[in-house]
Structure 1
Amino acid sequence: MSKRVRPGYYRQEVNKTTWEVPDRYRDLRQVGTGAYGTVCSAVDSRTSTKVAIKKLYRPFQTELFAKRAYRELRLLKHMKHENVIGLLDVFTADLSLDRFHDFYLVMPYMGTDLGKLMKLQRLSEEKIQYLVYQMLKGLKVKNSLKTHNRESDFNCSVDEINILDFGLARQADSEMTGYVVTRWYRAPEVILSWMHYTQTVDIWSVGCIMAEMLQGKPLFKGSDHLDQLTEIMKITGTPTQEFISKLESDDAKSYIKSLPKVEKKDLQKVFSTANPQAVCVLECMLLLDPECRVTAAEALSLPYFSEFRETEEETEAQPYDHSLDNTDLPLDQWKRHTFTEILSFKPVLPESKETSL
């Protein structure tokens, strides 16, 4: 006999998965699936807005899964910033801790991604400035959060608040969570696992997205990993000896040394019809060496963004309490902490801000 549905909730099968959600969320439709969960779009009847609801896949099947689920919830609760997707709601249909098996995260639905937007129209100079400025503000928050946390394995929790989650990116790969940046936007150090990632790994992606806005087509359109690298080096030139010596992989070193030497292209000539200040931004972002790329905070101070700058708005994240993040707890304790976080969630009522997109 199937268990009764919690009052105020209803049960629906979505692609062979049972969803139990509050009555306010209607018209559930699966929009993505990955290793850790499934995402449905829905209409919130209270606000008449479209939302994305994520159901984690068996969040308490192991201590590792439970810790990951707890951290994801804590991070999303912590992020309250207009440029980073925030948590609108979190709920469970399970009435007590001993019956607690599943929970759901509700976030804004990012329906129009930049890819669709660019197919519809060529973006104006002002719109490009605005969109890149917004992405950089969001990245600055994300990077400050990671700095406060100072964890080497922090990236596994941050995929939820990546550039792609700002609703400004293309069709995502199906691997991992379904929110991973496609090859055309990946930083070279990610493509070949050259070296330890730094915070500028996302700056490369922003540079690729900005270049596409200016050109109306992707800048680096590789057909596979190595072709992607070849396309990148046609613009950046082949790496210097100084950069090659920083690589951690001997295979990567020997591969790069075997490549024919290519000179760096002058981006002012590649983007000859673009605003020179916009090209200056790209020059600072699209550098092979992650240590030479601008940070989000540095990029925000470039002249191209001067008319949008409101420095008091370029906030950093409040320090994140990660006292439990490095601990190993038994499964039932992760469960208890997660249940408490769900019960203590206070939704922030969204202001009705219409964007000019």
Structure 2
Amino acid sequence: MEFFTEYGEASQYQIEEIIGRGSFGVVAAAVDTQTGERVAIKKIHDMFEHASDGTRILWEIKLLRLLRHPNIVEIKHILLPPARREFRDIYVVFELMESDLQKVMQVNENLTAGHHRYFLYQLLHALKYIHAANVFHRDLKPSNILVNSNCKLKICDFGLARASRDDPPLAIFWTDYVATRWYRAPELCGSFFFKYTPAIDIWSIGCIFAEVLTRKPLFPGTNVKHQLDLITDVLGTPSHETLSQIRNEKARRYLTGMKRKHPIPFPSMFCNADPQAVRLLERLLAFDPKDRPTAEERL
């Protein structure tokens, strides 16, 4: 009852345990007493206290009610508040998944090439669908990828996702505060361009796949400059053509003034991985976004 406060529909759900906490609130595992189905209930408390928090949950609800795909988490129900004046917290009921990819990588040392391939296939399958709807997720990371013991995978947390439009007001990128830094495309680290493409999500998938192969983050930057340093340490200094496209003068000057670096061959970094996986990873992690393949091409 403490979890649900004043919400009348709470009687339909029996809380089992708290399975997640974050700045937004908490997630609890529960049982739907009417159907017997186990669900996850995300409680966002005081959602109107900060406009940015309210906007995030609104975007997530609007998008997930429209996006229906086997590899995207599904909203089962949204609990209605007892009255408009008492509408402070919101409860969103999702299908319950057993774990997330970050935890799976931490505890499983025996993932095979078959596991790697199946995880990547499902991620690309979901991305093809998301990008076909002109939506960018913008916050792909292992903790936002839910996994069951049968290796079924679903992308969650669409709070930073946005729909792309062709009209000028929305062609300018919404914000550069996107994604956990380690999985952030280089063009987002320096606010490089006026308009971004689905390639930002492809880069994130590349970082996640590299982590699946090695069980450690590929680019664990401590700040934006360090992030760019780590990326260029592996990929080498960007070409003059790529640098000339960067609209952020500070970022362009930093990369141009950087000591010339040569790329590290991926086979030497991922010597225990399937050669086909390594070749695919090289494409996903191209510095220039136009050199990254689409999800459909990689499928």
Structure 1-normalised TM-score? 0.65
Distance 1:33 1:59 in 2: 17
Residues 105 and 217 of structure 1, relative CA distance in 2, 3 Å threshold? same
| SS, match of residue 70 in structure 2 | coil
Q: Does 2:288 align with 1:289?
A: yes
Distance 2:127 2:45 in 1: 25
Distance 1:103 1:265 in 2: 48
Residue 251 of structure 2: aligned partner: 252
- Give the RMSD, CA atoms, in angstroms: 3.3
Q: Does 2:139 align with 1:116?
A: no
Q: Structure 1: which 5+ runs fail to align? A: 1-11, 148-154, 170-174, 301-357
Residues 138 and 162 of structure 1, relative CA distance in 2, 3 Å threshold? farther
CA offset at residue 30 of structure 1? Answer: 7.0
Residue 285 of structure 1 aligns with an amino acid whose one-letter code is L
CA offset at residue 103 of structure 1? Answer: 3.8
Residue 193 of structure 1: aligned partner: 191
| SS, match of residue 13 in structure 1 | coil
Question: 1:11-57: per-residue Cα shift (whole Å, max 9, x none)?
Answer: x334xx946323324135372333xx423212124435241323363
Q: Does 2:17 align with 1:38?
A: no
Looking at CA atoms only, which structure, 1 or 2, has the larger radius of gyration?
A: 1
Ranked by relative contact order (alpha carbons within 8 Å, sequence separation 6 or more), the top structure is 1
Identity %: 30
Distance 1:290 1:128 in 2: 24
Residues 71 and 48 of structure 1, relative CA distance in 2, 3 Å threshold? closer
Moved over 6 A (4+): 64-68, 96-99, 159-163
Residue 267 of structure 1: aligned partner: 266
Residues 262 and 226 of structure 1, relative CA distance in 2, 3 Å threshold? same
CA offset at residue 111 of structure 1? Answer: 4.5
Q: Does 2:115 align with 1:127?
A: yes
CA offset at residue 291 of structure 1? Answer: 1.4
Counterpart contact for 1:122–1:216, Cα < 8 Å: no
CA offset at residue 166 of structure 1? Answer: 3.0
CA offset at residue 176 of structure 1? Answer: 8.0
Aligned residues: 267
Q: Structure 2: which 5+ runs fail to align? A: 148-152, 154-158, 162-177
Counterpart contact for 1:26–1:42, Cα < 8 Å: yes
Residue 276 of structure 1 aligns with an amino acid whose one-letter code is P
Residue 193 of structure 1 aligns with an amino acid whose one-letter code is S
